[in-house]
Amino acid sequence: MTPKRKQKLFVILGLVSLTAVAVGLTLYALRANINLFFSPVQIAQGDAPLERQIRAGGMVKEGSVLRDPDSLDVAFTVTDYVDDLEVYYSGILPDLFREGQGVVVVGELQADGRMYADKVLARHDENYMPPEVAQALKEAGYSPADFQAKAAEVGKRLEAEGVPQANEY
């Protein structure tokens, strides 16, 4: 490689790495805004604003869905297996909505810790399987372990960052 080409290569690599650092720092500074939703852990710790439209996400807790037989009103609990969030909603739920399924709810958090949702979106995990396999897994006692691991990791990270716990306020 001639010295001129070498110099050019270094200039380009320098330019690209500087841009990468700039983009990285911007994304790091904006990380709270890039997260699509608050998890119940974050809401319990008081990170989410009250009475403003926010998004919260987690799994629909097994056995928590209550439907009003005369209307479209529904109440359920969103959990990340560390903390819970009570959600009230009136409207049509997506087809994939069910207990044990990931959801993102859009709505306002009330001072009493409940959330009134305007919209409920279903989240899908990265596992696909034919119905027979799903049945076999269910019989073998399958649990959404992936999500649990992620929630535990977030909890640990918040603790390490020294975010004050709810009971310290």
Partner 1 sequence: MWAFIHKLGSPKWFYGISAKLQPWFWAAAALLLVTGSLWGLAFAPADYQQGNSFRIIYVHVPAAFLAQSIFISMAVSGLVFMVWKIKVADMAAAVMAPLGAAMTFVALFSGAVWGVPTWGTWWMWDARLTSMLILLFLYLGVIALRGAFTSRDSASRAASVLAMVGVINIPIIKYSVDWWYTLHQPATFTLTSRPTMPIEMWLPLAIMVLGFYSFFIALTLMRTRSEILRREANKRWVHDLVKGRVEETR
Contact residues for partner 1 (CB under 8 A)?
5, 8-9, 12, 15-16, 19-20, 23, 27, 31, 34-37, 39, 57, 93-96, 101, 104, 119-131, 133-135
Cβ distance to partner 1 smaller for residue 110 or 135: 135
Buried b / exposed e over 10-39, threshold 16 CB at 10 Å, is eeeeeeeeeeeeeeeeeeeeeeeeeeebbb
Spatial separation of the C-alpha atoms in residues 118 and 122, rounded to whole Å: 14
Cβ distance to partner 1 smaller for residue 31 or 52: 31
Cβ distance to partner 1 smaller for residue 111 or 130: 130
Q: Cβ(166)–Cβ(52) under 8 Å?
A: no
> Considering Cα of 155, then 107, then 110, then 88, what sign does the dihedral take?
negative
Beta-bridge partners for 116? 88, 108
Cβ distance to partner 1 smaller for residue 149 or 166: 149
CB of 65 to partner 1, least distance (A): 16
CB of 118 to partner 1, least distance (A): 12
CB of 167 to partner 1, least distance (A): 25
